[in-house]
Amino acid sequence: MTNRLASATSPYLRQHADNPVEWHPWGEEAFQIAQERDVPILLSVGYSSCHWCHVMAHESFENSAVAEIMNQLFVNIKVDREERPDIDAIYMQAVQALTGRGGWPMTVFLTSAGLPFFGGTYFPPEDRPGTPSFSRLLHAVNDAWQNRRDELFTTAQELTSAIGRVGVAANDAFVGPTFSMLDDALPRVLASFDAELGGFGSAPKFPQAMTLDFCLRSHQRTGSRAALAAATISLDAMAAGGMYDQVGGGFHRYSVDSHWLVPHFEKMLYDQALLVRVYLHAFQLTGQERYRRVVTETINAVLRDFCLADGGFASAEDADSEGIEGKFYVWSLSEIEECCGEDAPEVIRYFGVTDQGNFTDPHTNYSGSILYAVNRTEDRPDAVTRAIPKLLAQRSKRVRPGLDNKVVLAWNAMFLQSLTEAAAVLSQPDWMNVAQSNIEFLKANLRRADGRWLRTWSDRPGTILAFAEDYAALLEAFITLAEYDSPHWLNDARAVANQLIELFSDPDNSGFFTIGVDGETLIVRPKEVQDNASPAENSMAASGLIRLARLTGENSYLAIAQDWINATSELAAEHPSAFAYLLGAVERIIAPPIEIVVTGDPNEPTTSELINEINSRFLPNAVRLFAFGDRAAQGLPLLVDRSLDNGIPMTYVCENFACRLPTNDLDELAKQLDDLTRSGDK
């Protein structure tokens, strides 16, 4: 017998439709029932590929005895955090304030008005040291509700007041960001760098793609060898470890150990987007083919495993298959020997395969070897290269981890941005075709007739309005398409930017709220300030608005970004790992503007050579337009007085509003671009 989640658009919610728990989707009906019954609300937040969400579901939500307690004492609401990041953000703040930590699954107890008074993350089925069993917790909360309700209401009001204080305090004496702030941020990043194993801090280790990209930017700007080493050592270590799928390409969520060996096996679309970008930039900066290979393998993995028939990209793949974490990815020695034939000894050596294995699922004791490059500096041997397709074919016969086929607008836009840039840099027209198909899918399926964008699509359009994160990521995607595909995408970029400003601006302060003025009214209106696993909405918005202003000459966009950067850049420089994406926007706004235009027939070899020379460079603060045919009518300042119809390819390179002589000579163009990237060596 199913509960109220059976008709949900979220695959995660539908996973719980057969639970004996009487789950409700988030909505007014659930709160009204809680008020009528005079019971609290139990809010459970998770997502489809979350391993511990599955564990708690099996242990508690599928247990009829536990479900009976939940149904008797509470009104139970299940939320997909990927579908409703606004709800997740509000109540995660509450849990972090109560417990000092957060994570998923998240369990929060609310009044019928939605105010939180207690919460936590995973609760086990039996008592453990320092953690009560879930059943014991349920009875304890009920006891407090019945006998100490005034205390709970006081806690709820104080907690709601605390999490309602969003944004950052303005510093009236602040005159604006400077390069010295970026210089000061770098040693703070490097202070936690693991010079031996790569990455930052200790286990568990997250990839921190945005921080690594900041290191690449710092090296490009200053010549800092320490910044480059932090990036390359980390990128090499991650790509060599078990966190990288050595057979199929793409990255798992994070490493549970400091060596990048044992991953948390789920794969997230936004991780692929961010990591493709930083490895691509590392390739541009260093020319190392191993970074190109990671970019290619990761994109191919997404196109193979995440790309839906209609052109959208699925949001995530589970850590588990057949109820066992990592089973899809680990190998036995005998499997390798049988699959790889005469190449097996070299594959076994290179990937560190043993009889004992290096991984055991703690819940089932299933064990095997996670493949990893034992020597991370060794080039992949030919025998291993030959064996990879055989291993991939053999693995394809296994039961795949579950795929959350929910299309999330922001995450699709993030991957679209990376795919578009990679297609241009690596001269992969097929990838650009996929990017074009993806944006057309998003426009057709996640945009209403009135132009308002929606958050998700899962076999059918969702009803949840897109958030500031979605708009900001989409803005950056459209700008990237305009730069690398066609300037006509700037029309869409302007429309998205204008809606972002209209719907999400904070009229009393700088920045953007998470929820639009036309969105649901929650207990507070959140505003995302810090970058987390993915860039904050305000960080992406600042970057996108600066880029749009540079391309269009419309400085009203620049002023909005400047206000947010003025409010946050000091904080960002003090805590750079929490604001790494924002620091990219800071650099964009203080660096001398760089503008590059190419005109000519794209089918002419000279035009392609000029474009490829530009795209091969890591130019993080540049904007570019490749204009073919008469585009001056669009009123773009970058194309004014630049001949577009004489048939002769030409490049125009300008820095800080001063232009070099136009040229179609490849060597001269290379010299001009070299001048843009001059830096010291320290």
Of 547, 388, 570, 556, the C-alpha closest to 472 is 547
Count of C-beta atoms within a 10 Å radius of residue 101: 9
Domain limits, the chain: 11-163, 179-319+404-590, 320-400, 594-676
Task: Determine the pLDDT at residue 214.
Answer: 98
Is the pLDDT at 410 greater than 80? The verdict is: yes
Closest by CA position to 405, among listed 80, 51, 11, 13: 11
The CA distance from 244 to 234, in Å, is: 12
The angle, 0 to 180 degrees and rounded to 10, between the axes of the packed helices 409-425 and 468-484 is: 20
**Type of residue at 3:** N
* Out of 323-327, 409-413, 476-480, 647-651, least confident range: 647-651
Mean pLDDT on 588-597 = 93
C-alpha dihedral sign at 220, 226, 228, 230: negative
Query: What span, in angstroms and rounded, lies between the C-alpha atoms of 636 and 313?
Result: 32
> May I ask the CATH class of domain 179-319+404-590?
mainly alpha
Handedness of CA 464, 467, 469, 471 (dihedral sign): positive
Report CA dihedral (583, 589, 592, 594) to the nearest 10 degrees: 90
Place 678 in a pLDDT band, splitting at 50, 70 and 90: low
Q: Which residue has the tokens 């000894």?
A: 345
Predicted confidence (pLDDT) per residue in 540-575, tens digit: 999 999 999 999 999 999 999 999 999 999 999 999
pLDDT in tens, 15-57: 999 999 999 999 999 999 999 999 999 999 999 988 889 899 9
Which tokens go with 656? 């800080």
pLDDT digit string, tens, across residues 368-401: 999 999 998 899 999 999 999 999 999 999 999 9
- Residue 430: count of CB within 10 angstroms of its CB: 9
User: Domain 594-676 adopts which CATH fold?
Assistant: Glutaredoxin (3.40.30)
Q: Is 394 exposed, middle or buried (0-12, 13-18, 19+ CB in 10 A)?
A: middle
Distance CA 682, CA 675 (A): 18
Host H or E run for residue 634: none
Candidates 583, 590, 659; CA nearest to 675 is 659
Mean pLDDT of the 659-680 span: 86
Q: Is 358 strand, coil or helix?
A: coil
Residue 506 CB contacts under 8 Å (≥ 6 apart), including other chains: 167, 512, 513, 527
| Digit-coded pLDDT (tens) for 112-123 | 999 999 999 999
Q: What is the pLDDT of residue 645?
A: 52
DSSP 457: E
Under CATH, domain 11-163 is a member of which superfamily? Glutaredoxin (3.40.30.10)
Q: Select from 554, 384, 538, 555 the least CA-distant residue to 475.
A: 538
Share of the chain above pLDDT 70, in %: 96
Residue 319, pLDDT above cutoff 70: yes
Tell how strand 594-599 and strand 622-627 pair up: parallel
Minimal CA–CA distance to 107: which of 127, 91, 83, 131? 91
DSSP, collapsed to helix, strand or coil, labels residue 465 as strand
Tell me which residue of 618, 678, 622 sits closest to 651, measured CA to CA: 622
pLDDT at 163: 86
How would residue 633 be classed by pLDDT, with cut points 50, 70 and 90?
Answer: very low
More reliable by pLDDT, 633 or 150: 150
Say if residue 185's pLDDT is above 60: yes
Banded pLDDT at 680 (limits 50, 70, 90):
very low
Among 389, 239, 252, 405, smallest CA distance to 320 is for 252
Answer whether residue 182 shows pLDDT above 90: yes
pLDDT for the residue numbered 628: 72
State mean pLDDT over 217-225: 96
User: pLDDT (tens digit, 9 = 90+) per residue, 497-511?
Assistant: 999 999 999 988 899
Task: For residue 68, count other CB atoms closer than 10 A to its CB.
Answer: 12
Separation CA 107–CA 77 (nearest Å): 10
Domains 11-163 and 594-676 share a fold: yes
Interatomic CA distance for residues 52 and 370, integer angstroms: 20
Q: Give the pLDDT band of residue 644 (cuts 50, 70, 90).
A: low
Percent of the chain with pLDDT over 90: 83
**pLDDT: is 435 or 48 the higher one?**
435
447-490, pLDDT tens digit by residue?
999 999 999 998 887 889 999 999 999 999 999 999 999 999 99
- For residue 441, is pLDDT > 80? yes
Q: What are phi and psi of 31, to 5 degrees?
A: -70, -35
- CA 110 → CA 5, 134, 568, distances in Å? 20, 16, 32
Distance between CA atoms of 328 and 305, rounded to whole angstroms? 13
pLDDT tens profile 130-177: 889 999 999 999 999 999 999 999 999 999 998 887 666 556 567 689
pTM of the model: 0.94
pLDDT digits (tens, 9 = 90+) for 63-113: 999 999 999 999 999 999 999 999 999 999 999 999 888 889 999 999 999
- The beta strand positions in 92-243, using DSSP E, are 106-110, 116-120
Q: The tokens of 397 are what?
A: 């016969």
DSSP character string of 6-68? TT-S-HHHHHTTTSSS-EEESSHHHHHHHHHHT--EEEEEE-TT-HHHHHHIIIIIT-HHHHH
Q: Write out pLDDT tens, residues 255-310.
A: 999 999 999 999 999 999 999 999 999 999 999 999 999 999 999 999 999 999 88
- Are residues 132 and 140 in contact, defined by beta-carbon separation less than 8 angstroms? yes
